[in-house]
Amino acid sequence: MVHQLNVNNLGKRFDNYWVFQNLNYRFESGKIYALTGPSGGGKTTLLNCIGRLTDASDGEILLDNKDVSSIKILKYYRNYIGYLFQNYALVDDQLP
């Protein structure tokens, strides 16, 4: 089954600074997308919103027409979203 992730009028701000506003895009499972843009342009911030590491300030993110914020977070990660961190975010298993 092909899943759709719709970003609708999405906006994210930090204090009074809007990183992006009125962002609209549709992603489909099974496809590969490249998110490109200048440093500080908001690429990580968008992925953090989709990955639910941070809340959007405006708009909505729908997975198969269901607002992702209504999906239990464990179900979301287990069934729909995988997130590879730029800095790996690995937990060191070396004892001090």
Ligand X SMILES: Nc1ncnc2c1ncn2[C@@H]1O[C@H](COP(=O)(O)OP(=O)(O)OP(=O)(O)O)[C@@H](O)[C@H]1O
Residue whose CB is less far from Mg ion, 52 or 71 = 52
**At a CB cut-off of 8 Å and minimum separation 6, what does 42 contact?**
12, 19, 20
Site residue total, ligand X (CB under 6 A): 10
* C-beta separation of 10 from 59 below 8 A: yes
Considering only residues 31 to 60 of the shown chain, the ones binding Mg ion according to CB under 5 A are 43-44
CA atoms in the 13 A half-sphere facing the CB of 79: 11
Instruction: Look up residue 68 and give its DSSP letter.
Output: G
Q: Site map for ligand X, 26-65, x if CB under 6 A?
A: -----------x-xxxxxxx--------------------
Residue 70 interacts with, from ligand X, Mg ion, none (CB under 5-8 Å by kind):
none
Residues at the interface with ligand X (CB under 6 A): 14, 19, 37, 39-45
